[in-house]
C-alpha cells in the first residue's frame, strides 16, 4: 500500500505544475472515493440482479474487472483531515496517521514521508509519593480510580477534592490545616496533537527536578535553570542561532562560543566553569553543541550528586523516555510501557 501511495504522489508532482501539491492530493482522494463508491454500487447491482442475461453479465464483469485493475493503481493518498474508514476501506490501517509530508528536494521532487503510529503507550509512575503503589496512566487518564474523566489529564496534589485532585500524593512537608482545602501540584497530560505525554507544574512556588541521566538538549530560552549538585546555574540559549550560550553561576557570568569554547566542562577545578562546593564532583557535567539539532546540550558525567533540569512556574516537559524526578526531596520515576 505504501509503495503505491508513494508512486501516486510522485506522479502528480512530476506531471502537474498548475495546482499546489495539497490541492492535487485532495483532488486525487475525492476521485478515488467516488470511483470506489460507484464500483461498490455496480458490484452489488450485478450480484443481485438475476434477470440480466449472461452476455450482459460477462460485459459487466469485464467492466468491473477493468475498473478494479485500474483502482489497484490508484492508492489512497494521505491527507491532513479525517476520512471515514468505510469510504477508504482502511480498517487494517486504522492505527496509522500521516504527518509532516513534505517535498524533501525541490529539484528532484523527492518525497519524504514521516509516518507515526498512534500512541498506544502507557505510563507507569513509581515512588513513595504514590504511597508505594504503581500508578498507570493511558491516553484517557488514570487507568483505575476516577474514570469519569477521560480528558487525558491527571492532576496530582493534596487535599480531598475529587473534582480538583485525581490522585492524592504523599508529601509530608505539605500539610493542610483545613481539610476542605486542596493544592494542585502537577499534572500529567496527553497531548493529542503531538501524541505524547507531558508533565506540567501547576503550583507556581514549587519546583520539580528532572534528573539528567541522559543528554538534555536546550530549547531556545533566556531562563533555563539547571541544578548542578546543589548549585544553581542559569542558562541563556536565546543566541543559539549565532552559536553563543550565556551561563550564570552564583555571581559569575560566562559567555561561550560553539566555535572556540567547546566542550564547556563543569567541575571543582581545571574546568571551564569551576565551582568550589562540596556537592560538585571533580568532573561533574559538560555542555556540548549538536550541529544536527542546532542546539546546545548538557550531559552529567556520572557525578555523585547529579545534575537536574528545573521545571517550574507552569512549565512542562515532554515524557519521551523513562525519567526520574524529585519534588520536595521525594523521588519518583515515570516509565513508558509500550
Looking at the fold, whether 219 and 195 belong to one and the same domain comes out as no
Looking at the fold, whether 27 and 126 belong to one and the same domain comes out as no
Q: Which long-range contacts (CB under 8 A, 24 or more apart) does 57-61 make?
A: none
pLDDT higher than threshold 80 for residue 68: no
Secondary structure (3-state) at 88: helix
Looking at the fold, whether 6 and 104 belong to one and the same domain comes out as yes
- Which domain CATH number covers 248? 2.60.200
Measured distance CA(4)–CA(76) in Å, rounded: 8
DSSP letter, residue 134: -
> 47-51, 186-190, 281-285, 333-337: which has the minimum mean pLDDT?
47-51
pLDDT higher than threshold 60 for residue 297: yes
Q: For the chain, what is the mean pLDDT?
A: 76
With vertex at residue 320, the alpha carbon angle to CA 319 and CA 324, rounded to the nearest 5 degrees, is 55
Listed residues 69, 88, 117: the one ending a domain: 117
pLDDT > 70: percent of the chain: 61
pLDDT > 90: percent of the chain: 46
pLDDT at 161 (0 to 100): 78
pLDDT at 95 (0 to 100): 37
Q: What are the pLDDT digits (tens) for 244-292? A: 999 999 999 999 999 999 999 999 989 999 999 999 999 999 999 999 9
Measured distance CA(14)–CA(292) in Å, rounded: 30
Which one is predicted more confidently, 178 or 236? Answer: 236
Distance of CA 301 to the CA centre of its chain: 27
Listed residues 82, 117, 152: the one ending a domain: 117
Looking at the fold, whether 192 and 318 belong to one and the same domain comes out as yes
Which one is predicted more confidently, 7 or 228? Answer: 228
For residue 38, name the pLDDT band (cuts at 50, 70, 90).
low
Listed residues 117, 152, 178: the one ending a domain: 117
Looking at the fold, whether 195 and 263 belong to one and the same domain comes out as no
pLDDT at 181 (0 to 100): 82
Highest mean pLDDT among 45-49, 113-117, 140-144: 140-144
Q: What is the DSSP annotation of 89-133?
A: T-GGGTTEEEEEEEEEETTTTEEEEEEEEPP--EEEEEEGGGTT-
Looking at the fold, whether 281 and 321 belong to one and the same domain comes out as no
Which one is predicted more confidently, 68 or 112? Answer: 68
Q: What are the pLDDT digits (tens) for 123-181? A: 999 999 999 999 999 999 998 765 567 789 999 998 877 788 999 999 877 766 665 68
Measured distance CA(327)–CA(330) in Å, rounded: 5
pLDDT at 257 (0 to 100): 96
Non-local (6+) Cβ contacts of 45 within 8 A are none
Looking at the fold, whether 251 and 161 belong to one and the same domain comes out as no
pLDDT higher than threshold 70 for residue 122: yes
Which one is predicted more confidently, 16 or 259? Answer: 259
The total of structural domains in the chain comes to 3
pLDDT at 329 (0 to 100): 85
Looking at the fold, whether 166 and 131 belong to one and the same domain comes out as yes
Q: What is the DSSP annotation of 284-331?
A: EEEEEEETTTTEEEEEE-S-SS-EEEEEETT-EEEE-S-EEEEETTEE
pLDDT higher than threshold 50 for residue 194: yes
Looking at the fold, whether 195 and 236 belong to one and the same domain comes out as no
* b/e 195-224 (16+ beta carbons within 10 angstroms → b): eebebbbebeebbbbbbbeeebebeeeeeb
Looking at the fold, whether 99 and 148 belong to one and the same domain comes out as no
pLDDT at 72 (0 to 100): 44
- Which domain CATH number covers 195? 2.60.200.20
pLDDT at 24 (0 to 100): 54
With vertex at residue 216, the alpha carbon angle to CA 284 and CA 281, rounded to the nearest 5 degrees, is 5
Looking at the fold, whether 109 and 51 belong to one and the same domain comes out as yes
- Do strands 153-158 and 141-142 pair parallel, antiparallel, or not at all (unpaired)? unpaired
Looking at the fold, whether 90 and 151 belong to one and the same domain comes out as no
pLDDT at 114 (0 to 100): 36
pLDDT higher than threshold 60 for residue 213: yes
* b/e 282-321 (16+ beta carbons within 10 angstroms → b): ebbbbbebeeeeebbbbbbeebebbbbbbbeeebebebee
Cβ atoms of 289 and 258 closer than 8 Å: yes
Residues of the domain holding 287: 214-305
Q: What integer is the mean pLDDT of 225-242?
A: 96
Amino acid at each position: 500500500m505504501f509503495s503505491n501511495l508513494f508512486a501516486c504522489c510522485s506522479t502528480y508532482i512530476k506531471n502537474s505544475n498548475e495546482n499546489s501539491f495539497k490541492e492535487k492530493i485532495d483532488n486525487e482522494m475525492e476521485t478515488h472515493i467516488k470511483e470506489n463508491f460507484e464500483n461498490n454500487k455496480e458490484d452489488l447491482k450485478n450480484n443481485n440482479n438475476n434477470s440480466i442475461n449472461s452476455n450482459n453479465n460477462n460485459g459487466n464483469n469485464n467492466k468491473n474487472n477493468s475498473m478494479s485493475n485500474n483502482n489497484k493503481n490508484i492508492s489512497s493518498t494521505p491527507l491532513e483531515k479525517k476520512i471515514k474508514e468505510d469510504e477508504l476501506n482502511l480498517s487494517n490501517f486504522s492505527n496509522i496517521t500521516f504527518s509532516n509530508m513534505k517535498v524533501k528536494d525541490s529539484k528532484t521532487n523527492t518525497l519524504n514521508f514521516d509516518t507515526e503510529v498512534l500512541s498506544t503507550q502507557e505510563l507507569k509512575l513509581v515512588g513513595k509519593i504514590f504511597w508505594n503503589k504503581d500508578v498507570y496512566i493511558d491516553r484517557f487518564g488514570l487507568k483505575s480510580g476516577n474514570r469519569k474523566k477521560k480528558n487525558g489529564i491527571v492532576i496530582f496534589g493534596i487535599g480531598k477534592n475529587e473534582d480538583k485532585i485525581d490522585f492524592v500524593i504523599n508529601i509530608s512537608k505539605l500539610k493542610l490545616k483545613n481539610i476542605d482545602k486542596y493544592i494542585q501540584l502537577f499534572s500529567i497530560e496527553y497531548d493529542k496533537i503531538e501524541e505524547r505525554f507531558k508533565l506540567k507544574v501547576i503550583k507556581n512556588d514549587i519546583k520539580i527536578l528532572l534528573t539528567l541521566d541522559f543528554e538534555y538538549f536546550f530549547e531556545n530560552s533566556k531562563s533555563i535553570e539547571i541544578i548542578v549538585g546543589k548549585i544553581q546555574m542559569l542558562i541563556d540559549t536565546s543566541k543559539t542561532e549565532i552559536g553563543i550560550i550565556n551561563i550564570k553561576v552564583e555571581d559569575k557570568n560566562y559567555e561561550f562560543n560553539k566555535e572556540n569554547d567547546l566542550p564547556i566542562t563543569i567541575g571543582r577545578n581545571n574546568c571551564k566553569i569551576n565551582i568550589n562546593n562540596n556537592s560538585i564532583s571533580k568532573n561533574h557535567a559538560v555542555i556540548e553543541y549538536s550541529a544536527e539539532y542546532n542546539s546546545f546540550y548538557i550531559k552529567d558525567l556520572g557525578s555523585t550528586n547529579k545534575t537536574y533540569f528545573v521545571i517550574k512556574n507552569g512549565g512542562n516537559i515532554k515524557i519521551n523516555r523513562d525519567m526520574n524526578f524529585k519534588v520536595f526531596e521525594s523521588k519518583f520515576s515515570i516509565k513508558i510501557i509500550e
